[in-house]
A and B are shown apart, each in its own frame.
Chain A
Amino acid sequence: MRSQRFFNLLTLLILVVLTAGFLIYTKVAASAYIQRVVVGLAISIILVVSLNLINGMTGVFSLGQIGFMAIGAYTAAILTLPLSMKEVNLPDLPSWLAQVELSFLPATLIAGLLAVIVAFLVGLSLMRLSGPYVSVATLGFLVIVQVILVNWDKMTRGSRTFSGVPPFTTLWWAWGWTILTIYIGWRIARSMYGRRMIAVRDNQIAAKSLGINVMRSRLLAYCLSAFFTGVAGSLWAHFIMSFSPKSFYFVETFSVITMLVIGGMGSVSGSILGAVLITVLSEILRNAERGIAIGPIDIPPVYGASQILMSIIFILVIVFRPKGLLGGREIDFNRFWSWLLPKRGEKAIVPGKEVS
């Protein structure tokens, strides 16, 4: 057991050093473009890991999480928008909001909490549904959020662009939140609570007969997922600086789902892997698209060959690796160690399930 613990700590240490090294290198040596990609990647990881909390672990396949991202983005942006900008851009704000200008952290926390409150309220009804019905109903939630954003002119500027958000999202903010999200996502996957959720996912009837409150564990996962998705929304808002309701609709929903499915639903490391792969791939494709310039010029960069290629890749993954690249399991570092340091006459570390 001692050696197991030692190797776990060693793994953790190596991962921390690698991540820190990567971030410092990015900050110091990489181009502004690469830095932006790395921040975008962090936000994607938060979105996918928190999507995995509900979709991967409970089996409630929500299509509406991007709605929470929108709530987070608009909430935080309204809170941090400088007072001078508020007068110009949001002249009709209620007075108690018009005088508020918060700094980044409290705004982000409030954004996350508001997402949780909304998630709790809609979750009370949505989490009772099952199968395809829950997917359609959560899709309904996404549409409701969209309709409200587009029509609540006073708060959101309606379908017009919301701009002037201060550029608060630095590399450190983004990755700080990312690491927190990963840590919590990972702890939950290994906790009693996570195991319970997975039990519910795999067999509802059995879970019920074991006295597991399906509704409660789903609701908890839903709220937690909403919190980090809301936080990601805030980070994204202060990263991109101007956005409109359309930014939080199906294209974004599909993109995050793609990352989750390709990496492997139900696995934290799979979620991260999916986010990394898709981010890198779509950057490459986007650049290629711009370089070759296929098709008429009036095509905005989001729409185009890269999207088509991405959806083909997605279908191929579902056909040939329906459980994603990692097959729903976590990356197993023990295997790496026992490959690196085989001990004679004994299995160095038993690969596979760890005993906690």
Chain B
Amino acid sequence: MTQLQYLAQQGINAISIGSLYALMAIGLAMVFGILRLINFAHGDLIMVGSYGALLLLVLGTPFWVAALGGIVASTIAGLLMERVAYRPIRGAPDVSMLLTSFAVTILLENAAILVFSPTPRAFPTPSSLNSTFRFGQLQISRIDVVAILVAVILLVLLTLFVTRTKLGISMRAASEDLLAAHLMGINVNRVIATAFAIGSIMAGVVGLLWSARVGKVDPLMGFYPVLKAFVASVIGGLGSLAGAVLGGFLLGFLEILLQGLLPSSLAPFRDAFVFVALIILLLFRPNGIMGSAEREKI
């Protein structure tokens, strides 16, 4: 394999992983923008979606039905989460909201352990997704291509939604100035529910792609992706949608780059390097790359 092919392969890897991070980070960013809530439990929506899909697959439904079912499951879970746990504490200090989301995480993960047992289960990825494309010596797995395509489609749809529809514009308005949004008569409850729904749909999609990639599901599977999505959205600037997407892809590239550059003795420390990079970035850009300065409370 030539140098160039190697680079191309790694580039596609980075974009594919970055797509997943970006989709996750968008969910975090939308909710943070409006509520100033860092929703730690966002990762568990991945888990709910994957188990939902797995359940349907076990029952023998075709893959696309199961996929749809999984996305519906994570959406319902996301909406319930907002209604039951987060609505009662709206306007509470940031820390209380963050802690509540921690509690929701512990709750969901332990419930999943009780119901599904802690042992991972195989996720029957359809063989059509498992194969690879071949261009000369270049091998590209289909799941990477699918992930990139799905991400592009979802990002385009999201862009259209937030710029062309009244509800989407209301969402941007509410995330910038909640008081003014109230005064204009924007239905803030609906806007928040929509933000959770969109975030959950994306989490459901990520869950499917993730499970298909690693071939298994387990109750704690959402932890790793949400941590990465945190980093991505902080890199981009909490609350900024464009920042979340940018941060997701940057993180994807950073990880692949570290994987390629680190000597093998340091390779296992990759995640530590990622967080060190994040902390260094925050020193120079305390609000991320695209984040605006914190609104000071008077």
Q: Direct contact between A and B in the complex (CB less than 8 angstroms)?
A: yes
The contact of B286 among A122, A130, A141, A310, by CB within 8 Å, is: A130
Q: Which residues of B contact A137 (CB under 8 A)?
A: 234, 278-279, 282
The contact of A132 among B38, B114, B231, by CB within 8 Å, is: B38
Shortest B158–chain A CB gap in Å is 23
Are A148 and B102 CB-contacts (below 8 A) given A132-B36, A133-B287, A318-B89? no
Q: Which residues of A contact B95 (CB under 8 A)?
A: 61, 135
B268 close to A147 (CB less than 8 A): yes
Instruction: Give Cα A151 to B117, complex, Å.
Output: 28
Instruction: Give Cα A304 to B117, complex, Å.
Output: 10
The contact of A315 among B100, B114, B227, B275, by CB within 8 Å, is: B100
B272 close to A136 (CB less than 8 A): no
Q: Is A291 an interface residue (CB 8 A)?
A: no
Instruction: Give Cα A126 to B212, complex, Å.
Output: 37
Q: Which residue of B lies closest to A315 (CB)?
A: B103
Instruction: Give Cα A254 to B85, complex, Å.
Output: 17
A136 close to B38 (CB less than 8 A): yes
A130 close to B282 (CB less than 8 A): no
A140 close to B238 (CB less than 8 A): no
A131 close to B94 (CB less than 8 A): yes
Q: By CB atoms of chain B within 10 A, which of A125, A129, A140, A300 has the most? A: A140
Surface stretch bound by A, among B105-113, B174-182, B187-195, B250-258: B105-113
Q: Which residue of A lies closest to B85 (CB)?
A: A315
The contact of B93 among A147, A300, A322, by CB within 8 Å, is: A322
Question: For residues 75 through 96 of chain A, which have their beta carbon under 8 Å from a beta carbon of chain B?
Answer: none
Considering only CB atoms and an 8 Å cut-off, how many residues of chain B contact the other chain? 47
Q: Which residues of A contact B279 (CB under 8 A)?
A: 122, 125-126, 137, 140-141
Q: Is B136 an interface residue (CB 8 A)?
A: no
Q: Which residue of A lies closest to B111 (CB)?
A: A308
Shortest B223–chain A CB gap in Å is 8
Are A133 and B227 CB-contacts (below 8 A) given A140-B278, A147-B272? no
Mask for B115-129, Cβ within 8 A of A = 1, else 0? 001110000000000
Q: Is B92 an interface residue (CB 8 A)?
A: yes
Q: Is B1 an interface residue (CB 8 A)?
A: no
Q: Which residue of B lies closest to A307 (CB)?
A: B110
Q: Is A24 an interface residue (CB 8 A)?
A: no
A129 close to B92 (CB less than 8 A): no
Mask for B73-113, Cβ within 8 A of A = 1, else 0? 00000000000010011001111101110111011001101
B294 close to A322 (CB less than 8 A): no
Q: By CB atoms of chain A within 10 A, which of B38, B110, B268 has the most? A: B110
Instruction: Give Cα A256 to B234, complex, Å.
Output: 25
Q: Which residues of B contact A310 (CB under 8 A)?
A: 106
B238 close to A132 (CB less than 8 A): yes
A147 close to B271 (CB less than 8 A): yes
A141 close to B238 (CB less than 8 A): no
Q: Is A346 an interface residue (CB 8 A)?
A: no
Q: Is B283 an interface residue (CB 8 A)?
A: yes
Q: Which residues of B contact A277 (CB under 8 A)?
A: none
Instruction: Give Cα A224 to B40, complex, Å.
Output: 28
B275 close to A141 (CB less than 8 A): yes
Q: Which residues of A contact B118 (CB under 8 A)?
A: 298-300, 303
B113 close to A322 (CB less than 8 A): no
A131 close to B294 (CB less than 8 A): yes
Shortest A352–chain B CB gap in Å is 24
Shortest B183–chain A CB gap in Å is 25
Q: Which residue of B lies closest to A306 (CB)?
A: B110
Instruction: Give Cα A314 to B110, complex, Å.
Output: 15
Instruction: Give Cα A71 to B234, complex, Å.
Output: 26
Q: Is B230 an interface residue (CB 8 A)?
A: yes
Instruction: Give Cα A257 to B278, complex, Å.
Output: 24
Instruction: Give Cα A300 to B219, complex, Å.
Output: 14
Are A128 and B283 CB-contacts (below 8 A) given A151-B268, A299-B113? yes
A312 close to B230 (CB less than 8 A): no
Instruction: Give Cα A147 to B266, complex, Å.
Output: 11
Instruction: List residues of chain B with CB under 8 Å of any chain A CB.
Output: 32, 36, 38, 85, 88-89, 92-96, 98-100, 102-104, 106-107, 110-111, 113-114, 117-119, 223, 227, 230-231, 234, 238, 268-269, 271-272, 275-276, 278-280, 282-283, 286-287, 294, 296
Interface pairs (10), CB distance under 8 Å: A61-B95, A125-B279, A126-B279, A135-B95, A136-B234, A139-B227, A250-B223, A258-B103, A307-B106, A315-B100
Further pairs besides A144-B276, A295-B114: 17, Cβ < 8 Å:
A125-B280, A126-B279, A132-B32, A133-B234, A133-B282, A141-B279, A143-B275, A147-B271, A254-B106, A298-B119, A307-B106, A308-B114, A314-B100, A314-B103, A315-B85, A318-B100, A319-B89
**Which 7 pairs of residues, A with B, have the shortest CB-CB distance?**
A140-B275, A311-B103, A147-B272, A151-B268, A311-B107, A311-B106, A144-B272
